[in-house]
Amino acid sequence: MSIFAIADLHLTQDVNKSMEKFGWIDYDKKIFENWQEKVTSEDLVIIPGDISWAMDTIDAYPDLEKIKIMPGKKVLLKGNHDYWWKSITSLNKYDKDMFFIQNNIFEFEDYVITGSRGWICPNDSKYTEHDEKMYQRETLRLENCLKLAQKTGKKIILIMHYPPTNDKKEPSNFTALAKKYDVPYLIYGHLHGNDNFNASIIGLVENTQYHLVSCDYLEFNLKKII
């Protein structure tokens, strides 16, 4: 049994949403070929956000189908571009091996996976009253999810889409929650490009291992977490 992660697949059927302008050439092919090579039916793959460019759920199904046919169980989280993500109840009926995280938990072997999208952390460059409102809301959501996860007695894997700190890597409500609930693994995406990859925590800090899993950071290869 292994647990892998990769974020920001940005799958699309719309040529106008192509990621090639960012240098992502045949990236989806690379991701799924690597997935086939690494993952077995006994494994789990975590996808923390920005899954599809689709605007409506029905238009996202072709992209979800690409994930569905891949080996292993899958846990998916909403990202800031996942506008197609509507009813969590309907999504969790889509496929028995795909589980969508939203104010809930997913247990896998000795681990429990939970999380929320997160938001921009307080910073000196761009932080509005709206950002503060969203930041506090996401703090509450994450803590509620962590309370549910803690009750299982299993090791917690906390997933977010946004990074858990600002670009100065200062402590945040999110890192405080990771410490409070003794979270051994925190996985996030959202950061793209060499200039931004170092804009949050990567590595071990206060007993939590922080993993950036944006697909371009991983060179479109799934990362083995456990």
Q: In this predicted model, what pLDDT tens digit does every residue of 126-139 receive, in sequence order?
A: 999 999 999 999 99
> Is the pTM of the predicted complex or chain greater than 0.85?
yes
Written as one string, the DSSP assignment of 121-142 is PP-SSS--HHHHHHHHHHHHHH
pLDDT of residue 24: 81
Radius of gyration, alpha carbons of the chain: 16
pLDDT band at 13 (very low <50, low <70, confident <90, very high): confident
**Domain with 84 in it: what CATH number?**
3.60.21.10
pLDDT of residue 200: 97
Phi/psi class of residue 81: alpha, beta or left (left: φ > 0; alpha: ψ in -120 to 50)?
alpha
Residue 171 has pLDDT above 70, yes or no: yes
Count Cα atoms within 13 angstroms, Cβ side, for 42.
Answer: 4
Count of the separate structural domains present in the chain: 1
pLDDT band at 50 (very low <50, low <70, confident <90, very high): very high
Share of the chain above pLDDT 90, in %: 88
Average pLDDT across the chain, whole number? 94
Backbone angles phi, psi at 64, to 5 degrees: -65, -30
pLDDT tens digits, one per residue of 62-113: 999 999 999 999 999 999 999 999 989 999 999 999 999 999 999 999 999 9
51 lies in which domain range? 3-224
Residue 20 has pLDDT above 80, yes or no: no
Q: Are strands 98-101 and 155-159 parallel, antiparallel or unpaired?
A: unpaired
pLDDT of residue 21: 65
Angle CA 43–142–129, to nearest 5: 135
